[in-house]
Amino acid sequence: MTRALAALAGALALLSLLVGRAGFGVVDTAILWELRAPRTVLALAVGAGLGLSGAVLQGLLRNRLADPGLLGVTGGASLGAVLVYYYGLAATLPVTLPLGGLAGAGLAAAAILALASRTGTGAALLLAGLAVASLTGAAVAVALSFAPNPFALAEITVWLLGSLEDRGWREVLLALPAVLAGAALLLGLGRRLDALSLGEAGAASLGVDVPGTVRRAALGAALAVGATAAVAGGVGFVGLIAPNLVRGPVGERPGALLLPAMFAGAAIVAAADIAVRLVPLQQEMRLGVVTALIGAPLLLRLVVTRSERP
Amino acid sequence: MIAANGVVVSRSGRRALDGVSLAFEMGRLTALAGPNGAGKSTLLSVLAGLLAPDAGSVTLDGQPLHAMAPAARARRIAWLEQGARASWGMTVREIAALGRLPHGDSGAEAVEEALAACGLAAMAERRVDALSGGEARRAMLARVLATRAEVLLLDEPAADLDPAQCFALMRLLRAEAAEGRAVIVVLHDLALASRFADRIVLLAEGRVAADGTPEAVMTEEEAGRVFGVRIGTDALPRVLP
């Protein structure tokens, strides 16, 4: 299953290199290298980071509805980017946009880690994440309410919907190291997440350092999700749906889901990013809108099939 | 030998354990009994190293438990939580294999033996969330046995089991004790404790109220005093193993 999903993500990456406004195929090596290649790498990184983080958080919190958005780092990244727009820095110095997103995600992650480390439980992490997400959401709403001009308001709103349009190697260099570092932390958690299926006390009785596992999961997910949100904006549903999609064929053992969910996430975002370029509209559809359009029916289907199972 | 030495645990200003000193030898099956809130589960958590006592200590073969690395402790002490269940629809074999986690190996032989001992070999690939309550409980027990620990701490493993399964469970625990393990089990069924345990410890209000062989402890005076009811020792169960 893991190999099949990796092959699917690879095939979609190849297709992503061939699709764009300039036409199908390799129409120009500059377009291929400067536009489509970084966009494809980012789509894979964003999807892989979200899918893997979703699988880890669902295992950690023992809840199939856990989503990386609950951590609050996406909200932190959004707030950072929105402030860059708000103060007009994005137009004069574009690199400040992903940097603002990274700074916001970093601050949110630091706050969550500090709050959750006091008790070191999954419930504490969830509560801290919800508090930070609510706070950053409120701050973004304030920024929207007091947007300096209608153009800034439109830019902020569009950015919040998520996109990989016009992202280049600069964004790849900013996001990829953090996603890789986060993935390295998260992929090593498999057996600990298996043990946590017995609850936190059950896992501790098997010799698992539960507070350490919570901290590592929070840090890994914050790195992966924060970096992706900083460069791509809000891409919802992927972290929620990717683990649930692979749970059927792979089984429910949390540790067994990590790699398949990572590749499924990469495939979903790569497919969505191809779709936004294929839909003939004046302006590209937003990536976050398409992932929600794909994700919501899939989630509904899972709800129906799950309720039908005895 | 695993021993609690003057263990005190306070919770919300109340002493859940109040100076408990008990030593449990290898090769013996001990039943812990007592009224609700007597401190039985707290004592098991302290013996498992999951709860640090406010005063006193726990030692395993003379070595303080808090000085042991968590994985080393988990290889030697296996704990079954009261009402333990898995959050995911993992297979019975996957649940049993969790018992090998402290060893860092797959321990296929130990897992298969544990499954067979718990009568689960035929349903090893079934999901635990599709099993009956009693079958799921046995899957959790298989996880504990697969660790092959020297000390087994089991909190009400007989809950949800029918009489035949209760007897099968207690025979299994006796066999584990016969292999040299210290088996300490919380039981509410006094008849079951009397029939199978080498020793019964009665706890009341965080203290040891009675400790000895079933014949010495399960008297109308001792047990009746602890539980606050009349214990008819001449009317032990009619169901025979």
| Probe site for chain B from A65, A198, A246, A258 (most B CB atoms < 10 A) | A198
Dihedrals phi, psi of A218, to nearest 5 degrees? -65, -45
Query: Can you give the pLDDT at residue B228?
Result: 75
| Probe site for chain B from A121, A205, A210 (most B CB atoms < 10 A) | A205
Q: Which pairing describes strands B14-24 and B2-11: parallel, antiparallel, or unpaired? A: antiparallel
| Structural domain contains residue B236 | no
Buried b (16+ CB within 10 A) or exposed e, A33-64: eebbbbbbbbbbbbbbbbbbbbbbbbbbbbeb
- Domain assignment of residue B60, given as a range: 2-84+150-227
- pLDDT bucket at A307, cuts 50 / 70 / 90: low
- C-alpha closest to that of B35 among B220, B154, B202, B201: B202
Query: Can you give the pLDDT at residue B231?
Result: 67
Closest approach of chain B CAs to the CA of A40, in angstroms? 34
CB B88 to CB A205 under 8 A?
Answer: no
The torsion defined by the Cα of A172, A174, A175 and A180, in degrees rounded to 10, comes to 100
Query: Which pLDDT tens digit goes with each residue over A5-58?
Result: 999 999 999 999 888 777 777 778 877 788 899 999 999 999 999 999 999 999
Q: Which helix (H) or strand (E) holds B184?
A: strand B182-186
Q: Which helix (H) or strand (E) holds A232?
A: helix A210-232
| Selected residue with higher pLDDT from B8 and A284 | B8
Query: Which pLDDT tens digit goes with each residue over B174-196?
Result: 999 999 999 999 998 888 999 99
| Probe site for chain A from B88, B106, B147 (most A CB atoms < 10 A) | B88
Q: Above 70 in pLDDT, residue B52? A: yes
Q: Above 70 in pLDDT, residue B234? A: no
Q: Above 60 in pLDDT, residue B204? A: yes
Q: Above 60 in pLDDT, residue B235? A: no
Number of domains in chain B: 1
Q: What is the ipTM of this complex?
A: 0.90
Closest approach of chain A CAs to the CA of B72, in angstroms? 8
| Selected residue with higher pLDDT from B104 and B240 | B104
Closest approach of chain A CAs to the CA of B6, in angstroms? 22
Tell me, what CATH number does B12's domain have?
Answer: 3.40.50.300
CB A198 to CB B73 under 8 A?
Answer: no
Work out the percent of chain B whose per-residue pLDDT is above 90.
74
- C-alpha closest to that of A185 among A58, A76, A60, A56: A56
Interface list for chain A against chain B, based on CB atoms closer than 8 Å: 62, 191, 194-199, 201-202, 204-209, 251-254, 310
- pLDDT bucket at B168, cuts 50 / 70 / 90: very high
Work out the percent of chain A whose per-residue pLDDT is above 90.
39
| Probe site for chain A from B65, B101, B103 (most A CB atoms < 10 A) | B101
Q: Do B196 and B184 meet the contact criterion of CB atoms below 8 Å apart?
A: no
CB A253 to CB B90 under 8 A?
Answer: yes
The torsion defined by the Cα of A153, A155, A156 and A159, in degrees rounded to 10, comes to 160
Residue B160 to residue A216: CA distance in whole angstroms: 37
Residues in chain A closer than 8 A to B74 (CB atoms): 205-207
| Structural domain contains residue B53 | yes
Residue B157 to residue B168: CA distance in whole angstroms: 12
Query: Can you give the pLDDT at residue B237?
Result: 45
Residue A59 to residue A122: CA distance in whole angstroms: 10
Query: Can you give the pLDDT at residue B62?
Result: 93
CB B84 to CB A254 under 8 A?
Answer: no
- The DSSP annotation for A171-213 comes to HHHHHHHHHHHHHHHHHTTHHHHHHHTT-HHHHHHTT--HHHH
Residue B194 to residue B223: CA distance in whole angstroms: 11
Residue A115 to residue A294: CA distance in whole angstroms: 34
| Selected residue with higher pLDDT from A31 and A131 | A131
| Structural domain contains residue B26 | yes
Residue A210 to residue A229: CA distance in whole angstroms: 28
Closest approach of chain B CAs to the CA of A300, in angstroms? 20
CB B101 to CB A254 under 8 A?
Answer: no
Q: Above 90 in pLDDT, residue A98? A: no
- pLDDT bucket at A310, cuts 50 / 70 / 90: very low
A129-133, B96-100, B220-224: the lowest-pLDDT one: B220-224
The torsion defined by the Cα of A79, A111, A254 and B148, in degrees rounded to 10, comes to 180
Q: Do A232 and A162 meet the contact criterion of CB atoms below 8 Å apart?
A: yes
Residues in chain B closer than 8 A to A252 (CB atoms): 88-90, 127
Q: What is the mean pLDDT of chain A?
A: 87
A25-29, A149-153, B91-95, B227-231: the lowest-pLDDT one: B227-231
CB A205 to CB B48 under 8 A?
Answer: yes
| Structural domain contains residue B232 | no
CB A252 to CB B71 under 8 A?
Answer: no
- pLDDT bucket at A309, cuts 50 / 70 / 90: low
Domains delineated in chain A: 2-278+285-304 (1.10.3470.10)
- pLDDT bucket at B99, cuts 50 / 70 / 90: very high
DSSP designation for B91: B
- pLDDT bucket at B227, cuts 50 / 70 / 90: confident
CB B101 to CB A197 under 8 A?
Answer: no
| Structural domain contains residue B58 | yes
Residues in chain B: 241
Query: Which pLDDT tens digit goes with each residue over A235-285?
Result: 888 999 999 999 989 999 999 999 999 999 999 999 999 998 888 777 778
- C-alpha closest to that of A204 among B54, B32, B77: B77
| Structural domain contains residue B142 | no
